[in-house]
Amino acid sequence: MTIEQDTSQQEGRRRIDAIYWAGVFIWAGLVFGADSLGFLPQIGGASAWSWVFAGAGLCALLGNIYRAASPDWPNPTTWDYIWAAILLIIGLGGVFNVDVGFPVILIVIGVALLANMLLRRD
């Protein structure tokens, strides 16, 4: 890989990160605004934070899928998928009132690390 390609990928990753964080902050503002006005749906034991985490995880997952399908953006790493899964598990654990979030997070990280090691082509 040349220096120009590496610099281009770093710039692409910075742009993707900026778009992601802007979306997460807008989503969080909408969720907390809806919560303060009483419009936030009360499903299970979901709090405003559950909705924020679920939205952040969904944004991350959709962004990863888009990046994997687009030739113009750098491909997502294994850790991009892990963070999306962790955020979704935390958020949906509150929505579905399930207390198995932490063990599932550990399992997801372990499986991702194992898959990364087994699929490495070094």
Question: Model confidence over 43-97: pLDDT tens digits?
Answer: 777 889 989 999 999 999 888 888 888 888 787 887 888 888 888 888 887 776 6
pLDDT surpasses 70 at 3: no
CB-based contact 101:93 (threshold 8 Å): yes
Quote the mean pLDDT of the chain: 82
Number of domains in the chain: 1
Alpha-helical (H) ranges within the chain are 3-37, 48-69, 78-95, 101-119
Task: Taking each helix axis as running N to C, give the angle between helix 101-119 and helix 78-95, from 0 to 180 degrees, rounded to the nearest 10.
Answer: 160
pTM for this entry: 0.75
In the predicted model, what is the mean pLDDT of residues 97-117? 73
Higher pLDDT, 44 or 4: 44
Domain extent, residue 52, equals: 3-119
In the predicted model, what is the mean pLDDT of residues 28-56? 90
